[in-house]
């Protein structure tokens, strides 16, 4: 794999960070027994384009290793080799260096810049200051790792790199320089009692609410994992947030590897979390470690928990609306019943009044007729029968 870096890109990089680590053939996410990683190649602009690679090697040239892993006793020394390959059309003299190694926050292996002195495993390595490689050529370089007598048991990481320094000017005319380095990781495991261990702590989170009341929200949870043992460990486990859970790392993601004493902050976004006011958070860490032969080393699990506030506002709004709608329907129903009862009572009263009126009206004429019959005396005509006829005729 080749990476090309133009002068303009290199100048821009130096103004941001001071030193650019162009590449590292380190097997970043691999376990200590991981397969060889492909070599990385960097380019620097000088009199011509310079492209090179640095990989572990044997006497004949590059071998199949992507990293070097060695197990040594305190006070023991070991000689190994690496190859510097020059793919350029001109001879190049590369500066060689060894420095303390570490994993960055994004999980990639790197080494201290040349401006920062090493104090740990980087000081155990002895190698030449430089090497000149002909165009298209490969040079094998020996180096020696000497473990101090008082070295503590466990894993100690360093990096070996070949670098090229380029000079130029930025947009303001200021002279700038960039050191482009290509290298690989070397891990020395000092023999003794191995105690792989890791702990999880500082769990915290935030909640991203979904305003659709029928859809859950998303919880973003961060936590710290600390390698509290003396061997490299891989951070993996399960995160649970209320009604949702997920494993980390996710499928396809690199496993976070931590060297002894390192602390890494891991942040995960977990979907499908319902807002239940109080959302319990739980991180179950199941760290793993291996020896250089690939066998698993026993590591105790670790767990930490916290709580997250997640108010179900959309659900409360929906519930409030439903309650108000139900109350309105009940009030309307009760009002309709009251109106119906009042109408029925009024109709009943009108019916009773009409009936009383009819009864009173039907009873009044009969009473008058009987009274007239009882009080009016009969008329007696004292006239003789003949006069009576005459009177009628006169009328």
316 pLDDT tier (thresholds 50, 70, 90): confident
CATH superfamily, domain 7-190, is Immunoglobulins (2.60.40.10)
32 pLDDT tier (thresholds 50, 70, 90): very low
21 pLDDT tier (thresholds 50, 70, 90): very low
130 pLDDT tier (thresholds 50, 70, 90): very high
Mean predicted confidence (pLDDT) in 260-285: 94
CA 390 to chain centre: 134
Least confident of 288-297, 353-362, 371-380: 371-380
* Cα separation, 134 vs 92, whole angstroms: 7
Residue 16 has pLDDT above 80, yes or no: no
390 pLDDT tier (thresholds 50, 70, 90): very low
Sign of CA dihedral 64, 69, 75, 76: negative
Kindly list the domain boundaries of the chain, sorted by start residue.
7-190, 198-311, 313-371
**Strands 263-273, 217-227: parallel, antiparallel or unpaired by DSSP?**
antiparallel
Residue 10, H or E segment: helix 7-17
Residue 263, H or E segment: strand 263-273
Asked if domains 7-190 and 198-311 share a fold, the reply is yes
Mean residue pLDDT of the chain comes to 82
292 to 26, 183, 257: CA distances (angstroms): 15, 21, 15
Share of the chain above pLDDT 70, in %: 79
Contact status, residue 285 vs residue 199, Cβ threshold 8 Å: yes
* Residues facing residue 357 across a β-bridge: none
The domain 198-311 is placed in CATH, from the list 1.10.260.40, 3.40.50.1980, 2.60.40.10, 3.40.50.1820, at 2.60.40.10
Answer with the residue of higher pLDDT: 187 or 173.
Answer: 187
The CA-based dihedral angle spanning residues 53, 57, 61, 63, taken in that order and rounded to the nearest 10 degrees: -90
pTM for this predicted structure? 0.69
Closest C-alpha among 271, 275, 270, 273 to residue 248: 270
Residue 124 has pLDDT above 80, yes or no: yes
pLDDT 10s digits, 52-108: 999 999 999 999 999 999 999 999 999 999 999 999 999 999 999 999 999 998 889
pLDDT 10s digits, 187-208: 999 999 999 999 999 999 999 9
């Amino acid at each position: 794999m080749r990476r090309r870096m133009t002068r303009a890109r290199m100048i821009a990089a130096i103004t941001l960070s001071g030193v650019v680590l162009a590449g590292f053939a380190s097997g970043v996410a691999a376990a200590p027994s991981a397969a060889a990683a492909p070599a990385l190649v960097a380019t620097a602009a000088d009199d011509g384009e310079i492209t090179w690679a640095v990989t572990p090697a044997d006497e004949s040239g590059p071998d199949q290793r992507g990293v070097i892993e060695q197990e040594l006793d305190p006070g023991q020394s070991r000689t190994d080799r690496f190859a510097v390959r020059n793919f350029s059309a001109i001879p190049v003299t590369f500066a060689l260096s060894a420095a303390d190694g570490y994993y960055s926050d994004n999980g990639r292996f790197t080494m201290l810049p040349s401006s920062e002195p090493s104090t740990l495993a980087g000081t155990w390595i002895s190698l030449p200051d430089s090497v000149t490689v002909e165009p298209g050529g490969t040079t094998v370089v020996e180096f020696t790792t000497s473990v101090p007598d008082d070295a503590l048991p466990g894993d100690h990481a360093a990096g070996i790199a070949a670098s090229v320094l380029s000079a130029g000017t930025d947009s303001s005319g200021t002279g700038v320089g960039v050191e482009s380095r290509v290298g690989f990781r070397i891990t020395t495991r000092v023999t003794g009692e191995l105690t792989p261990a890791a702990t999880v702590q500082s769990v915290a989170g935030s909640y991203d609410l979904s305003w659709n009341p029928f859809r859950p929200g998303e919880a973003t949870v961060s936590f710290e994992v600390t390698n509290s043992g003396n061997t490299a460990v891989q951070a993996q486990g399960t995160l649970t947030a209320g009604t949702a859970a997920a494993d980390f790392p996710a499928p396809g993601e690199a496993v976070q590897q931590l060297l002894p004493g390192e602390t890494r902050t891991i942040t995960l976004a977990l979907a499908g979390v319902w807002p239940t006011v109080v959302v319990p958070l739980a991180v179950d860490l199941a760290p793993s470690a291996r020896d250089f032969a690939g066998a698993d080393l026993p590591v105790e699990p670790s767990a930490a928990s916290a709580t997250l506030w997640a108010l179900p506002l959309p659900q409360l709004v929906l519930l409030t609306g439903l309650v108000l709608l139900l109350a309105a329907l009940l009030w309307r129903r009760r009002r309709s019943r009251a109106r119906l009862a009042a109408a029925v009572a009024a109709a009943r009263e009108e019916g009773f009044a009409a009936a009383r009126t009819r009864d009173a009206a039907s009873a009044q004429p009969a009473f008058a007729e009987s009274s007239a019959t009882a009080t009016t005396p009969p008329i007696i005509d004292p006239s003789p029968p003949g006069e009576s006829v005459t009177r009628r005729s006169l009328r």
